[in-house]
Structure 1
């Protein structure tokens, strides 16, 4: 609870609101995230072929989302139990950090996809020499290492016992001296984790749109990269506007408001509830990412079609083999039955 300095009364708790929203949202995100990213990863693996850089980023993005949603059930259990953590300090730290690793890996993988599409459209000749699947894997490895190291300070926030409620807590906002650490992490993640990659994405999209508009109608008909780029621009910008931007803006406002002493109870309650909602939207990026695979991924739909055709071919071949086996069995039975018919003819 927060203290209202004007009348020294306790502000109303949002625990019931928080527990209900988090448990419901995380459950839905887990189901949709596992289904969408799991299916996309299955298609990419089952239809393995020499991959393009864009497909390398899609694969890593799907892995990142799956790792994140696999930790959400522990958050669901925590909020269903009204804020009681029973999974131990280690899992508390890992689960806390996993959400931020996925959040910023998703942002950077989207930025890498945008740069790749930018080079393919604006500098197509140089793109064939500069951008390769091997270099894309190195970029992905660098992103994983950078984000994991940058998110490692979140491992400092483990479980804590709350004597007021007699419960072991996790995912709770820090109090006292820990606030300064959170402010520093928030400012760092805002600049390096959101503003910098978002600026890169906007510059890439400006270059892509300018190049597409400057093409002649004949060139547009000859090249099919335009629709893919437009679809990617729409999906990525919607993800940022719906998922990433509200969370970072509201988190910055909320953390800096902790230093204010003139905040009323009603303002604190609204602020805390908005943090809950925007964090759910941020976690929902795992559900939005599969749209990139299905609507803007290079040859993803053709991979899906080829997988369906291969399954149909295997089913047909199995059916043919089964019918042949049944026919051979029937013929063998007839031959065996004929061989046991007694000879009733009389010889003279």
Structure 2
């Protein structure tokens, strides 16, 4: 249901819903190509590096570690398809990569969007239980259960985004171009409005409410502790950093997209709109979709600043690489010295 609303956003606003208004194609092509290029570079580097650290330290796994690993995989799958979007908008809305890649690249963006929301909710619940109910946490939160939760999140996100697999490339007779990410206009608006509210509640509002309740409980517990107790708990500082990063991600990436989508649907039902309002609404679609895709760039901050032992694992990896490098250098030096000794004897 979320993808259908996203499809409506793209088709109605990017193509333009009035022949009397000037096109925003130049604005759209420039903003999308620039934003997706930047997100690709930052997302590949940040999440790829984080995934390497998480995989190498998997023996030190924990429920929080399992969620971070799945979130990094989701982000990488998403950013790996963004170069196709960059090429599409650099070519000024001409798709040259086939129907299958069109479907997959549309699909992965929204799978990642809702995977990220629910993985962050799961991580927030895990941190909440660790701080507010530390005794019960040992029994309730296990790696096996966290893996089952991850499977459920993947299934939910993949199934709810499946309509993207049903709609691929199509030929636009008005522009004589093969289109992707911009399905043909049409569809019962009232039904889409109802589906939007349903997906807004299930895909965004409900997990966001859970996150806010968890953070309220965490902050209350931390404030009620004595100063000495707070100094002894490294979990407290990780929790505060996680609260800041997750809330920033929601307010910058997820909330603008969902609010704009709802406003846009209501806007389409109006008959008293003028050209400037339509152009402003179309441009807001472009900006908020870029912000939604940028959530992949925030997640590496979550791993580094609030992940359990992430920085210590990174430090141990660096030390192991340094040690192996020194050992290799020592072996090379011994080999050179042995060769020199043989030369002296031969001489």
TM range (shorter): over 0.9
Secondary structure in 2 matching 1:161: strand
Give per-residue Cα distances to partners, 1:40-92, cap 9 Å, x unaligned.
Answer: 01111223323011111000000000000011111111111111112222221
Q: Secondary structure at the match of 1:260?
A: coil
- Preserved contact between residue 69 and residue 286 of structure 1 (Cα < 8 Å): yes
Aligned length: 333
- Uncovered stretches (5+) of structure 1, i.e. residues with no partner: 338-348
Shift of 1:178: 6.1
Normalised by the size of structure 2, how large is the TM-score?
Answer: 0.93
CA distance in 1 between counterparts of 2:338 and 2:194 reads 76
Indicate the SS of the match to 2:58.
coil
Match of 2:181 among 171, 175, 191: 171
Alignment of 1:290-329 (within 5 A): 290-329=300-339
Structure-to-structure mapping, 1:213-292, within 5 angstroms: 213-292=223-302
In the TM superposition, residue 94 of structure 1 has moved relative to its aligned partner by: 1.5
What RMSD in Å do the two structures reach over aligned CA positions?
A: 1.5
> Is the 2:303–2:310 Cα contact (8 Å) retained in structure 1?
yes
In structure 2, how many angstroms separate the alpha carbons of the residues matched to 1:183 and 1:167? Answer: 29
Q: Following TM superposition, by how much is the alpha carbon of 1:155 offset from its aligned partner in structure 2, in angstroms?
A: 2.2
- Structure 1 residue matching 2:270: 3-state secondary structure: coil
The aligned residue for residue 53 of structure 1 is 63
Confirm or deny: 8 A CA contact 2:189 2:269 kept in the other structure: no
Q: 1:131-146, aligned counterparts within 5 Å? A: 131-146=141-156
Does structure 1 conserve the Cα–Cα contact (< 8 Å) formed by 2:79 and 2:296?
yes
Partner of 2:10: none
Aligned residue number for residue 188 of structure 1: 198
Does 1:334 pair with 2:344?
Answer: yes
Greater Rg, structure 1 or structure 2? 1
How many Å separate the matches in 2 of 1:334 and 1:63?
A: 56
Task: Give 1:180 shift.
Answer: 5.5
- 1:131 Cα deviation after fit: 0.6
Residue pair 1:2, 1:10 contacting (<8 A) in 2 also: no
For the 8 Å contact 2:249–2:298, the answer to whether it is kept is yes
Encode CA deviations 1:288-310: one digit per residue, 9 max, x unaligned.
11100111111000011000000
In 1, Cα distance between equivalents of 2:194 and 2:102: 21
Conserved? CA contact 2:170–2:183, under 8 Å: no
Greater mean deviation of Cα atoms: 178-187 or 224-233? 178-187
3-state SS in 2 of match to 1:168: strand
Task: Render the CA deviation track for 1:137-173: whole Å, top value 9, x for unaligned.
Answer: 1110110011101111232332221111111111115
The answer to whether the 8 Å contact 2:200/2:258 transfers is: yes
- CA distance in 1 between partners of 2:227 and 2:35 (Å): 46
Post-superposition shift, 1:324?
1.3
Work out whether residues 2 and 265 of structure 1, in 8 Å CA contact, stay in contact via their aligned partners in 2. Answer: no
Distance 2:33 2:271 in 1: 32
- Quote the offset at 1:175 in angstroms: 1.5
**In structure 2, how many angstroms separate the alpha carbons of the residues matched to 1:212 and 1:59?**
27
2:161 is paired with a residue of what secondary structure? helix
Distance 2:95 2:16 in 1: 22
Q: Structure 2 vs 1, CA of residues 2 and 70 (structure 1 numbering), >3 Å: closer, same or farther?
A: closer
**CA contact under 8 A between 1:247 and 1:281: conserved in structure 2?**
yes
Corresponding residue number in structure 1 for 2:135: 125
Whole-Å separation in 2 of the counterparts to 1:84 and 1:40: 34
1:336, distance to aligned residue in structure 2 (A):
2.2
Shift of 1:134: 1.5
3-state SS of paired residue (1:83): coil
**Does the aligned pair in 2 maintain the 1:160–1:170 contact within 8 Å?**
yes
Which stretch has the larger CA shift, 156-165 or 72-81?
A: 156-165
Structure 2 residue aligned with 1:93:
103
**Residue matched to 1:64:** 74
Structure 1 ranges of 4+ moved more than 3 A: 1-4, 178-185
